[in-house]
Structure 1
Amino acid sequence: MTKEHANWSPYDNNGGTCVAIAGADYCVIAADTRMSTGYSILTRDYSKICKLADKSFMASSGFQADVKALQKVLSSRHLIYQHQHNKQMSCPAMAQLLSNTLYYKRFFPYYAFNVLGGLDGEGKGCVFTYDAVGSYERVGYSAQGSGATLITPFLDNQLKSPSPLLLPAKDAVTPLSEAEAVDLVKTCFSSATERDIYTGDSVEIMIVNASGVRREVEQLRKD
């Protein structure tokens, strides 16, 4: 193995950052649109958010070839589910499917770090965060990708989810209004763009609520 290959990381083939926030009746999923290899930007307009069902969206950072393969597997299994049950998967069901799919490949894992967000059966916002081999947790907010180490402390400071050890258990949803959550996401990406070369150009934001899905795009630094 050459020194060049020894230092290679799949993050060099994308990087980027994904963030999701769950509220009482909404979910915000966002990702930047920069795809890069090392110090070279391949495209400034690449969507890292995939619609898995009407109320379920997945944002992924990592090695984009693996991300695309994972998206195809999930789409095909969701199609089979729809034919068998004559309905779409709920977001919690999709979360379990994603966990099973990643765990099945644990010995040769997809190099993809995912955040799944949407609405559950009660209409509440839900966010599920994952590692590369399928371990997952329902949380009020999450960040993944090369900018996650910059954004997560900021989200902790602003939102601070209740401890899962508290009894009785408290809801994981954040207390912010939908507009406040969108503004917070924009602030997160503006901050991360200043210090992470793999995050930038623009941020794509999907807002899921009872009335449907809304898409917003906010411009970021391009250098």
Structure 2
Amino acid sequence: MSILTYNGGAMVAMKGDKCVSIAADRRFGVQAQTVDTSVDKIFHMGNYLFVGFPGLHTDAQTVSGKVRLRKNLYELKEDRIIRPQVFSSMLSQMLYEKRFGPFFVEPIIAGLEPGTYNPYVCSMDLIGCPNKPQDFIVGGTASGQLYGMCESLWEPNLTPEDLFETTSQALVNAFDRDALSGWGAVIYMIEPKKVTIRSIKTRMD
């Protein structure tokens, strides 16, 4: 078993029309054993910026703290809010610095560009190589199922409500077929004037 799948989990981020979503399941496990069912895997980094960390949960907590420190120092020095693209470059550089003894996380970043409110999603491998698609990003042990569901359901220029429905249906149907993720989900809907957090109940077995 890969160390990246040791704790399980599933995560997805999707672009819409001037909105973006990021969602993750709530399960924390040790291989097939469920330890907790209310774990937050997505971290708030700014007004319109969130990052999730599929992979080893202890490394996710470490990396989130380190990158938050760097983000705060950047904003103090530059006297401006960090843009999602700058944040992803910062995180990529931080992961690459540790390439010979990497953190076992594969980050997913979702946010809106300040001013234009263009949606931005990005993922990385454990040494920081970025991937910036025009539609959606998936991660975690349910990646295979998520790809199939997202390819089937996603459409360009989705409204916030349609984006929420697409994200939730893709995530729930994917991790229903994955033993290492599940136990409910949390979805962050990022829009120009608000961020909506919704919890979803799913199968509890």
Same topology, TM > 0.5 = yes
Matched, 1:134 2:116: no
Give 1:22 shift.
1.2
Matched, 1:80 2:73: yes
After TM superposition, the score normalised by the length of structure 1 is 0.86
1:160-198 deviation digits (Å, cap 9, x = unpaired): 7xxxxxxxxxxxxx3211111111111112212321111
Q: Which amino acid aligns with 2:62?
A: A
Which residue is equivalent to 1:29? 22
3-state DSSP class of the match of 2:8?
Answer: coil
1:116-163 deviation digits (Å, cap 9, x = unpaired): 001013211111111111111222211100011111122123337xxx
What is the alpha-carbon distance in structure 2 between the residues aligned to residue 27 and residue 44 of structure 1? Answer: 25
Bigger-Rg structure (1/2):
1
Q: Which amino acid aligns with 2:54?
A: S
Give 1:202 shift.
0.9
Q: Which amino acid aligns with 1:52?
A: M
Q: Which amino acid aligns with 2:83?
A: S
1:100 to 93, 96, 102: 93
What is the alpha-carbon distance in structure 1 between the residues aligned to residue 166 and residue 2 of structure 2? Answer: 33
Percentage of matched positions with identical amino acids:
20
Alpha carbons 2:154, 2:166 under 8 Å: kept:
no
What is the alpha-carbon distance in structure 1 between the residues aligned to residue 125 and residue 152 of structure 2? Answer: 22
After TM superposition, the structure 1 = structure 2 runs for residues 98-177 of structure 1, keeping only pairs within 5 Å, are 98-121=91-114, 122-139=116-133, 140-159=135-154, 174-177=156-159
What is the alpha-carbon distance in structure 2 between the residues aligned to residue 19 and residue 116 of structure 1? Answer: 10
Highest relative contact order (Cα 8 Å, sep 6+), 1 or 2? 2
What is the alpha-carbon distance in structure 2 between the residues aligned to residue 72 and residue 142 of structure 1? Answer: 23
1:43-93 deviation digits (Å, cap 9, x = unpaired): 000010001111110111110111111101111101111211122201111
- State the aligned residue count: 203
Q: Which amino acid aligns with 1:124?
A: N
Gaps of 5+ in 2: none
